[in-house]
Amino acid sequence: MDGVILIEIGSLRGHEEVIPDNLEKRSSKLLAMGFYKPIIVDRDSLVILDGHHKWTAARLLGLERVPVLMVDYLLDESVNVGVWPDCGRESITKHEVLEMGLSGGVFPPKTSRHMFPFRIPSIRIPLEELKG
């Protein structure tokens, strides 16, 4: 894992739908605080592992770049994926997450649940710095 970097928002790929109420909350929080936590992505594919609501809110707010923290998803055995309770699946694999992200399709909201061996760092990046 490297440090937080800024990346073009359009280069990221989602794999999960967002929940409208959560999206509204994330948009409001971004407007009030700026970017406060990076989006976690797979280094090779740029598939989002954590931060779909922040990514979608950033797109709606017209941001061109977003802060990300990249991980070696398939190689790092300390990064784990499971499923949220009541999501309709018994399990999910890292390969299924990446395949969905690369396909352009999405799982229902709150399907994959990623666990990282690190605490996601708090950051403070004003939205103006991410606009053009």
Residues forming the active site: 16
DSSP 67-80: EEEEE-TTT-TTSE
Output Rg (C-alpha) for the chain, integer angstroms.
14
The first and second tokens of residue 101, run together, are 């992200």
34 contacts 26 by C-beta, under 8 angstroms = no
Cα atoms in the 13 Å half-sphere on the side-chain side of 65: 13
